[in-house]
Amino acid sequence: MTKDPNRGRPWLYLLPAFSLLALFGALPMAINAWHSLFDVFTLDSKLWVGLDWYREILTSARFYESFGRSLVFSAAVLAVQVPLGLLIALNLPRAGWLRSLGLVLLAVPLMVPWNMIPMIWLSLIDPETGLLGQAMAWAGIDFDHRFKALHTWILLIVMDTWHWVGLVAILSCAGLASIPAAYYQAAAIDRASRWQVFRFIELPRLRGVLLMAVMLRFMDSFMIYTEAFGINAGGPSGATTFLSLDLGEEIKAFDYGPAAARSVVYFAMTLAIAFAFWRAMTAERAEAA
């Protein structure tokens, strides 16, 4: 048997991954943090401002309003997509071609480019040419996402659910497939109800998978940009202006100093949220063990 020369030094196997992470993640963020300390006119013409951009952001009412809207949107997305994705997974056949077809159909929206999604849905709700728009007009529903904030929010949540609920369902299906058949056989012998099977067999086994789904969906919905900008560019009257839209506006206005500072703040927030989820997942694994 050939002896592994790296035995006892497992960190060597992680070195390539850490090197790529440092090159494509840490280094650009460090450069971005450096630029956030300047008022950048061009890369060769900068004025030192220190932490002024950070003070301006963290004392701005607009920052906290956008932060609140981002949290509300993420909470609404999770409240809809996680139960719906789990429900879909529970009702898919356990085996056979129908299950395969269902998984393929669930995966189709995930492959649609993000910049195409608002175009698809705007065409669907068009009252003259869209199927949904014509159906709502026939039913007497006055749906106007351009000037009614509630309608814009509904459209964003429905659109995001169509795009991402398949991810939650596929992850849930993977978790359900890992449950041994003996558990269901024992439940059948004990004449357990469907709710009891879900409560005491399936849900405990799905907790880790669902926590991962919640983390992925929260992180993505919290920084939504392309879809929200394509639907109404933060309108009406700023009702759907999320954190990422504020950052996008500064980048498009060539305000590189404030944009760099804002991106550093957002990165710190995202890192803190990811750390919280990691601690929760670690606690979950420890409890399961």
Q: What is the CATH number of the domain that holds 184?
A: 1.10.3720.10
Q: What are phi and psi of 48, to 5 degrees?
A: -65, 125
22 belongs to a structural domain = no
Report the number of distinct structural domains present in the chain: 1
On whether the pTM is more than 0.85, the answer is yes
Q: How far is 207 from 209, CA to CA, in rounded Å? A: 6
Q: How far is 101 from 106, CA to CA, in rounded Å? A: 9
26 belongs to a structural domain = no
Q: How far is 138 from 30, CA to CA, in rounded Å? A: 55
- Per-residue model confidence as pLDDT tens for the chain (289 residues): 455 555 556 777 778 877 887 777 788 888 888 888 888 876 677 888 889 999 999 999 999 999 999 999 999 999 999 999 999 999 998 878 888 899 999 999 999 988 899 999 999 999 888 899 999 989 988 898 889 999 999 999 999 999 999 999 999 999 998 889 899 999 999 899 999 999 999 998 898 889 889 989 998 999 889 888 999 888 888 899 998 888 888 888 888 888 899 999 998 988 888 888 888 878 777 776 6
133 belongs to a structural domain = yes
Of 103, 93, 162, 151, residue with least CA distance to 127: 151
16 belongs to a structural domain = no
20 belongs to a structural domain = no
The domain of 65 spans 34-288
3 belongs to a structural domain = no
Q: Residue 264 in contact with residue 29, Cβ under 8 Å?
A: yes
142 belongs to a structural domain = yes
63 belongs to a structural domain = yes
